[in-house]
Chain A
Amino acid sequence: MLVSASPSLERDPRGLEVERDVIVIGGGVNGVGVLRDATLRGFSVSLFERNDLAFGASGNSSGMIHGGPRYLSYDPDVTYSSCLDSGHIQGVAPHLLFRIPFLMPVFEPAGLKAKATLAAYDGFFTLYDKYQPLKAGKPHARLSVDDVRTLEPGLAPTQGGVSFDEWGIDGARLCVANARDALERGAEVRVHTTVLEVLRREDGSAYGVRYRDRRSGEVGVRTARLIVNATGAWAPLTASLSGLAPEAARLRPGKGIHVFLDRRVTNYAIVAKAIDGRQVFLMPWQNLSVLGTTDDDYYGDLDDVLATGDEVRYLFQAVERVFPSIREARAIGTWGGVRPTLWGWGMNEDRLSREHDILDHGKDGAAGLYSMVGGKLASYRLFSEEMTDVIARKLGRGSPCQSHTLALPGGDEAVDPMRLVLEGGMEAVTATRLEYRHGSRSLRILDRMRRDPREAAVVCACEPVTVAEVRYVIDQELATSVEDVSRRTRLGLGACGGMRCAARCGRIVADATGKSPAQGLAMAMRFLRAAARRRSAAIGATQARAEALALASLRAELGDVADEPDADSRGDEL
């Protein structure tokens, strides 16, 4: 039986009726997940994100919708729920998922121990196979020495191994798809808008937020019946904006970094053991490779998470033992994110629970305020459903959850990339990437090219990204800067590091958002500077010299734009 909403929820302290059912703070995967689920159930929802969608862990994770085999031995519930939801996510966004076959080699010297290890792997993945049907995964295979050599000739000599099956996803695209769907169903999404304060009534209950648009400087108030803190690693900070102690949403944040290499060196994702015994991996990602990941307690600035040289060396050191030629590839970038891991004392980072939890701050005297803590990319939908169930119970209405049955934008219909090639004049790889990122919505981008064939021009050759796609993500997906476009399209993240495309993208963004061409170039400079900072931890001597050469030519092209004050920075301190 539903409990009727308490009357006090309906009005703010001035006696005005509140504007929304729910305010979600945070544009990561859990925030947009709740935004979409609650919107689908008929609630009116506003979302505030202080940076960009997928700015934090959601856009900087390993990008796997995996079943979490590494939790199987000590947290099998996480494995089960992850596998189940991996299947749901495939159903609603089939275009965004890609299969990642993993290979777990055995490196012990030939003998009984190696045989025992292989048997243990075999047994472990036999257990994992039981969960695979939940996510359309293939069963594992036990591989002989020759099998492994044939499949991955670049590996150091092995004593065989096992393969198993996982799914990958572009976390930023997943966030954007959720937000876009909610927008189309009437939700409000405000990016680059920071919440200054969670407003509370005299009785302590929360009724809204005071926010500030970091770009325009506009300050305002939005009121709602319930407020959801879905800010990931920022959760303690957000809780403190309501006047609660940060410990009310206590986490033990763990930093994880990845290194991008300029080429694809394997077809399987290879599991390797790091110096401390942790498992790390070398994973193919389209035409690149990715090394990941670390897990360390993090105490630094959440808005500026950078990989360090030590972390990069840790990964290379581990992967080099299993794939000796790895250093021949060129590192073209790093990314770092901070996991919002549940708090725990007295254990190392890897052992912390990957479960999630919903905190009702009514127990802290702040009724109507909830914090989502913990969780992982793979179980975002389930976590969002649980949160929305709480909302529905509290508000006493709402239709049943549909986030696992209704397709996300682009996921409703398969599009043959060849159609994009033939009708849009794109090259095959451009069409394939476009279809991957946008699914059936790629037809809308194709329409742009039909109206203006010049929009088929490739802006970023590495990825590749067309003018039409850049303009589409500005018009339809809330992108307002080169960095935002890059997050949605991967523009500038390839081998050239944006040297060839950032300025042009800046001009397009400026044109589409009513800024001056000079502001567009300043935006491009900001992107290049940030990309080079991320890259600097991973590059070697030869590459450092080559980059010095690019410098003079870039200055010649952009002139003194580099020195113009940041067009968007308004001395924002919050």
Chain B
Amino acid sequence: MNVLVLGAGFAGVAAAFAARRAGASVSVVQAGAGASALYAGSVDGPVLPESGPQAALLRELAPALGLRLGPTSVIATREGVVRPSRGADAAVLDLAPLAGKMIGVVDVPRDDWDGPLLLRSFAESAWARSTGTRFELVPLELLEKSFLRRVSPFDFASSFERAERPAWLCEVLKHHAGPDAWLFGPWLGVKRELGRELTASVGVPVGEVTSPPGGVAGARFEARRDSLLRSLQVDIVAERATGVRQAAGSIALELEGGRALTADVLVLATGGFVSGAVRLSGALSGAQPAGFGLALTGLPPIQARGEPGGPVSSLFGVDLAARGRHLLERVGLAVSGQGEVQGAARVFAAGDLLGPEPPSVGHALLSGLAAGAASAHFSS
């Protein structure tokens, strides 16, 4: 079985992984970066299964992508919110085991870090108050040079990867004994897992808050995804797709260079771009299959439950009260539970814009695993 996956975000890599594990040979077509490369580092969405075939796949896939899953995780965001999650980038501090303890919040005079106000926001959160958890601001001299005050979080995170810096950071933290855990900004390395290294060497949990868009979490995902796909012996085709052609017994994906790739089945995992990439003809109504085509240029009219979405700007662009929340997220293809696109043979879809739930990494992973496994077992 030859499986072609279009898109290499969380859904695409999960589909490639599942198809590969099911014995298919897999190629991934990807160009540019999407929502996964901009993600904040938190895994949200549906409850992730703890038994069954998907759970087994997840147990292998998540660590390979640098994720720590846990149904009761609590994370702190860069904007000062403390909230539950289904998991996170392994470098993001899990606050759940620290309930009732003292968490040291690292204060650095960087432009992107308003330590005192973030501290207040964490300390006054409902979670901190209900669990009696305390936060304490600990100023640390982490800026070697004054220009580091303004470099991007990505570059600042990289600056801690130089050979002697992790050991030095460990000494600094040990010197400030007291907190039961350390909470950093999103700066704990891109390639090296400094959170894990420091947790081991300092002796208390060391982690970070979530990342800003374009910060380290997305960069870590991209690096780990690439090495995972290489180790799975998946072909990576770095080209933009322009169309899909169905032929007898196969399906062809046309590429921008004029070349076409042929496979037994295609998994569309264009994630955040799904609503722009797939043109629906006619409204989705009940179980009626909708015709579809790829429209990688130009935005098709978007409809949710037969109601036009109006000018699509973002969650905020439409009148939420009148149209209901998550309008954009409700738009999608008519797909079966296994990601099979109705009305289009040999085409599967995966991604967090499918289905009624708000988009999330968890949703992307599960739909990717489902579509990948089903595509590998496709038979006409």
Is there contact, CB below 8 Å, between B117 and A550? Answer: no
Indicate whether A536 reaches chain B with its CB closer than 8 angstroms: yes
Is there contact, CB below 8 Å, between A557 and B210? Answer: yes
Cβ of A437: which chain B residues have Cβ within 8 Å of it?
none
Name the contact of A500 in the complex, choosing from B38, B125, B212 (C-beta under 8 A).
B212
Q: How far is the CB of A547 from chain B (nearest CB, A)?
A: 4
Cβ of A521: which chain B residues have Cβ within 8 Å of it?
79-81, 121
Is there contact, CB below 8 Å, between A552 and B314? Answer: no
From known contacts A517-B120, A529-B316, A533-B317, infer whether A552 and B81 are also in contact, taking CB-CB under 8 Å: no
Q: How far is the CB of B214 from chain A (nearest CB, A)?
A: 9
Indicate whether A528 reaches chain B with its CB closer than 8 angstroms: yes
Indicate whether A507 reaches chain B with its CB closer than 8 angstroms: yes
Among A504, A516, A520, A521, residue most surrounded by chain B Cβ atoms (within 10 Å): A504
Mask: chain A, 513-524; 1 = CB below 8 Å from B; 0 = not: 000111011000
Is there contact, CB below 8 Å, between A457 and B213? Answer: no
Q: How far is the CB of B362 from chain A (nearest CB, A)?
A: 12
Name the contact of A504 in the complex, choosing from B42, B114, B314 (C-beta under 8 A).
B114
Indicate whether A372 reaches chain B with its CB closer than 8 angstroms: no
Name the contact of B313 in the complex, choosing from A511, A547, A552, A554 (C-beta under 8 A).
A547
For B124, give the chain A residue with the smallest CB separation. A517
Within 8 A of B (CB), among A527-574: 528-529, 531-533, 535-537, 539, 541, 543-545, 547-561
Is there contact, CB below 8 Å, between B111 and A552? Answer: no
Indicate whether B40 reaches chain A with its CB closer than 8 angstroms: yes
Within 8 A of A (CB), among B305-362: 311-318, 320, 328, 352, 358-360
Among A503, A532, A557, residue most surrounded by chain B Cβ atoms (within 10 Å): A557
Once bound together, how far apart are the Cα atoms of A370 and B18, in whole Å? 76
**Total B residues in contact with A, Cβ cutoff 8 Å:** 47
Once bound together, how far apart are the Cα atoms of A560 and B311, in whole Å? 24
Indicate whether A458 reaches chain B with its CB closer than 8 angstroms: yes
Once bound together, how far apart are the Cα atoms of A499 and B313, in whole Å? 14
Is there contact, CB below 8 Å, between A458 and B77? Answer: no
For B119, give the chain A residue with the smallest CB separation. A517
Once bound together, how far apart are the Cα atoms of A558 and B212, in whole Å? 11
Is there contact, CB below 8 Å, between A457 and B359? Answer: no
Mask: chain B, 217-247; 1 = CB below 8 Å from A; 0 = not: 0000000000000000000000000000000
Is there contact, CB below 8 Å, between B317 and A457? Answer: no
Cβ of A555: which chain B residues have Cβ within 8 Å of it?
315, 358
Q: How far is the CB of B152 from chain A (nearest CB, A)?
A: 10
Indicate whether B44 reaches chain A with its CB closer than 8 angstroms: yes
Once bound together, how far apart are the Cα atoms of A567 and B78, in whole Å? 22
From known contacts A453-B109, A553-B213, infer whether A517 and B121 are also in contact, taking CB-CB under 8 Å: yes
Cβ of B125: which chain A residues have Cβ within 8 Å of it?
517-518
Is there contact, CB below 8 Å, between B299 and A558? Answer: no
Cβ of B121: which chain A residues have Cβ within 8 Å of it?
507, 517-518, 520-521
Is there contact, CB below 8 Å, between A547 and B117? Answer: no
Cβ of B317: which chain A residues have Cβ within 8 Å of it?
532-533, 535-536, 544, 547
For A524, give the chain B residue with the smallest CB separation. B79
Is there contact, CB below 8 Å, between A556 and B40? Answer: yes
For A530, give the chain B residue with the smallest CB separation. B316
Indicate whether B70 reaches chain A with its CB closer than 8 angstroms: no
| Selected interface stretch from B58-66, B249-257, B268-276 | B268-276
Within 8 A of A (CB), among B8-40: 34-35, 38-40
Cβ of A547: which chain B residues have Cβ within 8 Å of it?
313-314, 317
Once bound together, how far apart are the Cα atoms of A97 and B276, in whole Å? 44
Q: How far is the CB of B11 from chain A (nearest CB, A)?
A: 13
For A507, give the chain B residue with the smallest CB separation. B117
Is there contact, CB below 8 Å, between A499 and B311? Answer: no
Indicate whether A419 reaches chain B with its CB closer than 8 angstroms: no
**Total A residues in contact with B, Cβ cutoff 8 Å:** 46
Indicate whether B286 reaches chain A with its CB closer than 8 angstroms: no
Is there contact, CB below 8 Å, between A517 and B272? Answer: no
| Dominant secondary structure at the B interface | loop
Q: How far is the CB of B62 from chain A (nearest CB, A)?
A: 17
Indicate whether B83 reaches chain A with its CB closer than 8 angstroms: yes
For A466, give the chain B residue with the smallest CB separation. B111
From known contacts A517-B80, A557-B78, infer whether A551 and B44 are also in contact, taking CB-CB under 8 Å: no
Q: How far is the CB of B328 from chain A (nearest CB, A)?
A: 6
Indicate whether B258 reaches chain A with its CB closer than 8 angstroms: no
Q: How far is the CB of A28 from chain B (nearest CB, A)?
A: 27
Cβ of B273: which chain A residues have Cβ within 8 Å of it?
545
Indicate whether B298 reaches chain A with its CB closer than 8 angstroms: yes
Name the contact of B275 in the complex, choosing from A499, A504, A548, A557 (C-beta under 8 A).
A548
From known contacts A499-B213, A517-B121, A549-B35, infer whether A537 and B79 are also in contact, taking CB-CB under 8 Å: no
For A500, give the chain B residue with the smallest CB separation. B212
For A544, give the chain B residue with the smallest CB separation. B312
Q: How far is the CB of B216 from chain A (nearest CB, A)?
A: 13
Indicate whether A508 reaches chain B with its CB closer than 8 angstroms: yes
Is there contact, CB below 8 Å, between A553 and B39? Answer: yes
Is there contact, CB below 8 Å, between A457 and B111? Answer: yes
Indicate whether A454 reaches chain B with its CB closer than 8 angstroms: yes
Q: How far is the CB of B273 from chain A (nearest CB, A)?
A: 6
Once bound together, how far apart are the Cα atoms of A266 and B359, in whole Å? 41
Q: How far is the CB of A565 from chain B (nearest CB, A)?
A: 12
Mask: chain B, 106-135; 1 = CB below 8 Å from A; 0 = not: 000111001001101100110000000000
Name the contact of B77 in the complex, choosing from A516, A528, A559 (C-beta under 8 A).
A559
Is there contact, CB below 8 Å, between A557 and B40? Answer: yes
Is there contact, CB below 8 Å, between B314 and A550? Answer: yes
Once bound together, how far apart are the Cα atoms of A531 and B316, in whole Å? 8
Q: How far is the CB of B361 from chain A (nearest CB, A)?
A: 9
Once bound together, how far apart are the Cα atoms of A224 and B275, in whole Å? 60
Cβ of B328: which chain A residues have Cβ within 8 Å of it?
548, 551
Once bound together, how far apart are the Cα atoms of A518 and B80, in whole Å? 9
Please list the 6 inter-chain residue pairs (A to B) with the smallest Cβ-Cβ separation, ordered nearest first.
Answer: A532-B316, A517-B121, A541-B299, A536-B317, A536-B313, A547-B314
Residues of A within 8 A of B (CB): 309, 453-454, 457-458, 467, 499-500, 503-504, 507-508, 511, 516-518, 520-521, 528-529, 531-533, 535-537, 539, 541, 543-545, 547-561
A-B contact pairs, 14 of them (CB 8 A): A454-B109, A503-B80, A508-B117, A521-B80, A544-B299, A544-B312, A545-B272, A550-B213, A551-B359, A552-B358, A557-B81, A557-B212, A559-B81, A559-B83
